[in-house]
Structure 1
Amino acid sequence: MELDELKYQLNQRLATDHASRSNADISALLKKKTHSVISKIKRSLIIEMVLCVLFFVAMLYVCFITNYWSIRVYFGVFTVLTVLMTLVLYYLYRRTDTLSDSDRPIKANLQTLVGLLEEFVKRYFQFTMALLPVCFMFSMILSYADPVEIPEIEKFSVKVFTARWQVMVFLGVYMIALAISVYYFTKWYLKKLYGNYLTELKQYIAELDQ
């Protein structure tokens, strides 16, 4: 009975302490919590920018060393897309940094940030999935315009594929498997970098509404 009484008194004290806090105190407490989450989001954006820079260097290197203009065009397009993606990530980083230090009410800042990042994640996923068929068709067009001849691959393909329809079936299965893999990987990747933190921020916004 003494343990039950102690638990009751403790719960009552916590409830009284929470009720005695002003809105300013609650906002200050939540601001400390959200600062940690926002720092993690900014870290995710930095990681992505670093990856973009590394990817840009790798694509540019391929453009310079290849003797095929089709490969140069293909990877050259990717270098442009990588630069654009880096600019978008930098904008989001600066916007997140500004919102975290803004003098506006914390709730308004969180709602703006959540809306901005949710839209980014949504478009990120759509762009990634749309890029698959576009890249496939683009590579097919370039390969017909400027075939890349690799003797080892040519010998292997002749042994494995004896008819054109077999090649088409293989490409179809390959694209479906690739699309499924990219779909689930992108879902996991975006959830890991942004989705979990967005869920936390939404919980803090809900606390502010209470």
Structure 2
Amino acid sequence: MELDDLRRQWRQPEPVTNAQPLGASELRQLLAQRSGSIVDQLRRNARLELGFNYGMLLISLGLTALAPAIWLRLFGGLLVLVAVVCIYYLLRKLGLLRSLDDPAGDLRAHLRRLAAGLRTLIRFYYRFTLAMLPVSALVVGALALARAGVHATPSRLAVVLGVIVGTIAVCYWPVARATRWYLQRLYGQHLDRLESQLRELDEDTWPGPG
């Protein structure tokens, strides 16, 4: 039974004969069920992302250590930084999701804290992704100037800076839009559903513990 099924049952004008109201332990078991649950979907998506980032970390470390060109090594180092931050972010997210296995106190309050914590992490992930756009552009620009060496005249510097600013301006909107879509697809839609159910359950009259 899902939360929406339970909510519809509670909204029936007349209770089913011989039906017993769910107490705190039954509700906890209902919300923590793994098969097809919202939390389980969030866990699966986070684990998939975690596996991808572990793979990216290994590839980036190899690129940093073995690439023949200095610019490839620097790019590999930047990817290592991105992978490490993403792995930390995903481990934090999975830690929050695993906390549902043994919630303390009011389960609804615990779920609200869980949703708020995940929203905070998603905002961090979104901002970090956008922050990497100018960082990447600056790294590429610095490498271009380094390759120019003594030929890095003020006019060449102005051109490089113009290309950096132009790249950021052109890429910012599509990157932001794609990142929002990606996060909403993997996590946001499931959190929206969870928060909607919690709000609707708060509006209902809950039976006392059995």
Specify if TM > 0.5. yes
Residue identity in the other structure for 1:27: L
| 2: CA distance, partners of 1:28 / 1:81 | 37
Q: How far did 1:60 drift?
A: 2.2
Give the C-alpha shift of residue 16 in structure 1: 0.9
In 1, distance between residues paired with 2:197 and 2:20? 17
Q: Residues 100-179 of structure 1: matches in 2 within 5 Å?
A: 100-146=101-147, 173-179=166-172
Greater helix percent: which structure? 1
Pick aligned residue for 2:13 from 12, 15, 18 = 15
Cα distance in 2 for residues equivalent to 1:208 and 1:29: 16
SS of the equivalent of 2:105 reads coil
Gaps of 5+ in 1: 1-10, 148-162
> What is the aligned partner in structure 2 of residue 180 from structure 1?
173
Question: Post-superposition shift, 1:23?
Answer: 5.5
The reply to whether residue 48 of structure 1 matches residue 49 of structure 2 is: yes
Q: CA deviation at 1:131?
A: 1.4
Q: Quote the sequence identity (%).
A: 22
8 Å contact kept, 1:30–1:204? no
Provide TM-score, normalisation by structure 1.
0.73
2:76 is aligned with 1:75: yes
Q: 1:124 to 1:94 in 2, by over 3 A?
A: same
The structure whose Rg is larger is: 1
Whether the 8 Å contact between 2:43 and 2:97 is mirrored in structure 1 is yes
Aligned residue number for residue 4 of structure 2: none
SS of the residue aligned with 1:16? Answer: coil
Task: Provide closer, same or farther for how the CA distance between residues 81 and 169 of structure 1 changes in structure 2, counting only shifts above 3 A.
Answer: closer
- Of stretches 197-206 and 68-77 in structure 1, the one that deviates more from structure 2 is 68-77
**Cα distance, 1:167–1:134 mapped onto 2, change above 3 Å:** closer
Structure 2, unaligned runs of 5 or more = 1-8, 149-154, 205-210
Q: When the two structures are aligned, how many residues end up with a matched partner? A: 185
SS of 1:176's equivalent in the other structure is helix
1: distance between equivalents of 2:163 and 2:14? 68
The one-letter code matched in structure 2 to 1:16 is E
* Map 1:53-64 → 2, pairs under 5 A: 53-64=54-65
After superposition, give the CA deviation of every residue in 1:104-123 in whole Å (9 maximum; x if it has no partner).
32202211110110001111
Q: TM-score, normalised by structure 2?
A: 0.73
Against the structure 1 CA distance between its residues 173 and 139, is the aligned structure 2 distance closer, same or farther, given a 3 Å change threshold?
A: closer
| CA 201–191 in structure 1, closer or farther in 2 if over 3 Å, else same | same
